[in-house]
């Protein structure tokens, strides 16, 4: 009887010892390495009169992109295109709009971020676009259809300057959307014209530009520009 009790004690000690040894050899599960995003180029300066879009590639250190959100610190300086996702890399283009410096923050689904620093050149030329007024939709309008498609403006040019320019749209505070080039137009019937801006020696033109479908319940500001070494001209604002 005593032998059986002793054997049971020894077995318990052996099992306890084995349990201790096994536990001591298994460490905590290592945490996955944080995802790192890198942008190429990380810094870019547009030369004077360089209006070509600049392609940026953002790479992930591991895993695939599920989303990439772009935020422009000063969206009056540049625009950005919608990102194209390709597994561990994504691409978008930067569009010069006006003179200045700003940054683009590219953030993926995990919160990892890459920053691109962008500058555009100044020139000292006199402005070739003096002012603008949003006609359709009327500036300040709300509940505008997200499929409006075409916007109308009055633009003031210096005398003897031919029509030229593009539409740049600021989405919310830090998003951008690009419209088409400005073309001469006739305002739709029933359009209410704002009080003309008294600018000496200016030519006033009604123009239009097309835009892609808009997001619902969003704020938009419209700008027009035709010289990227000068500030863009604010035309108006509306919301969907």
Q: Which domains are seen in the chain, by residue range?
A: 37-120 (2.60.40.10), 131-239 (2.60.40)
pLDDT at 64: 96
Cα torsion through 27, 29, 30, 33, rounded to 10: 180
- Cα 33 to Cα 29, 62, 67, 68, 189, distances in angstroms: 12, 9, 19, 20, 61
Question: How confident is the model over 18-36, as a mean pLDDT?
Answer: 64
Over 60: is that where the pLDDT of 97 sits? Answer: yes
pLDDT at 32: 73
What is this structure's pTM? 0.84
Residue 105 — very low, low, confident or very high, per pLDDT cuts 50/70/90?
very high
**Alpha carbon distance 202, 101 (integer Å):** 30
More confident residue, 128 or 239: 239
**Neighbouring-strand partners of residue 225:** 166
More confident residue, 189 or 7: 189
**Alpha carbon distance 110, 90 (integer Å):** 15
More confident residue, 20 or 61: 61
**For the segment 146-195, what is each residue's pLDDT rounded down to a tens digit?**
999 999 999 999 987 789 999 999 999 999 999 999 999 999 999 999 99
Over 70: is that where the pLDDT of 2 sits? Answer: no
Q: Are 236 and 139 in contact (CB under 8 A)?
A: yes
The burial of 41, by beta-carbon neighbours within 10 Å (0-12 exposed, 13-18 middle, 19 or more buried), is given as middle
Q: Are 161 and 155 in contact (CB under 8 A)?
A: no
**Alpha carbon distance 233, 35 (integer Å):** 40
For the chain, the first-to-last Cα distance in angstroms comes to 89
């Amino acid at each position: 009887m005593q032998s059986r009790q002793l054997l049971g004690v020894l077995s318990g000690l052996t099992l306890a010892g084995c349990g201790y040894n096994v536990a001591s050899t298994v460490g905590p599960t290592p945490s996955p390495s944080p995802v790192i995003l890198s942008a190429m180029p990380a810094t870019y300066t547009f030369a004077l009169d360089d209006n070509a879009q600049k392609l940026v590639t953002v790479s992930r250190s591991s895993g695939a992109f599920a989303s990439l959100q772009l935020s422009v610190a000063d969206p009056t300086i540049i625009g950005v295109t919608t990102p194209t996702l390709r597994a561990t890399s994504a691409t978008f283009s930067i569009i010069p709009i006006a003179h200045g410096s700003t940054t683009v923050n590219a953030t993926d689904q995990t919160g990892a971020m890459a920053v691109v620093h962008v500058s555009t050149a100044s020139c000292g030329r006199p402005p070739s676009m003096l002012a603008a007024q949003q006609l359709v939709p009327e500036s300040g309008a709300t509940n505008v259809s997200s499929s409006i498609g075409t916007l109308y403006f009055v633009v003031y040019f210096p005398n003897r300057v031919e029509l030229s320019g593009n539409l740049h749209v600021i989405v919310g505070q830090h998003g951008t959307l690009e419209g088409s080039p400005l073309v001469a137009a006739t305002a739709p019937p029933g359009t209410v014209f704002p009080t003309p801006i008294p600018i000496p020696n200016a030519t006033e033109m009604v123009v239009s530009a097309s835009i892609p479908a808009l997001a619902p319940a969003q704020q938009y500001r419209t700008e027009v520009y035709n010289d990227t070494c000068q500030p863009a001209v604010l035309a108006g604002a509306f919301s969907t």
